[in-house]
Amino acid sequence: MNLSIQPLTETQIHEFISWQYDGPYAMYSMTDENEDELIAFFSDPVNGYFAIVDETGAIWGFCNFGEDAQVPGGDYSLEAIDVGMGMRPDLTGKGQGVDYAQAVFDFAQKQYPGQTFRATIAAFNQRAQKVCLKHGFKVVDRFERTKDKRPFVILIRE
């Protein structure tokens, strides 16, 4: 698999905001949100979003770097680059997460050399946590999201 990271196009944004996740992963679905607001948000370079595409140009997911990868209620006092990512629902759970995340972390290291990286993941999402652990992250904190008390974990890679 040869994945690359590139600036998002509006077409890609339209695609990923329509993705539907099943079961507990449904919390990642965005279809209840205002489409125009989502397009404006993801298009704004200040928010740090990128597309993850394969060699054919098909979108596999997206990633972001910065404050929007944080979850209200967590302790973000340690200086670090926050990393978030989302994978196309039909690709999840098929053992491709490690390679997928490798593309994101390789890109992150080029953009932010020598920095500490932080990921915040819903506590139930063992798949995403395992991927981060395989990439050298360590769990450093657990907390409940402010708005609904959903549990999350914070992982750090120095």
Please write the tens of the pLDDT for every residue from 110-127.
999 999 999 999 999 999
pLDDT reported for residue 1: 72
Residue 6 CA from chain centroid, whole number: 15
The topology (CATH level 3) of 4-157 is: Aminopeptidase (3.40.630)
Confidence category of residue 153, pLDDT binned at 50, 70, 90: very high
pLDDT in tens, 29-45: 998 788 899 999 999 99
pLDDT in tens, 44-87: 999 999 999 999 999 999 999 999 999 999 999 999 999 999 99
Give the strand order in the sheet containing 81-87. Answer: 4-7, 49-53, 59-65, 81-87, 117-122, 151-157, 138-144
Q: What is the pTM of this model?
A: 0.92
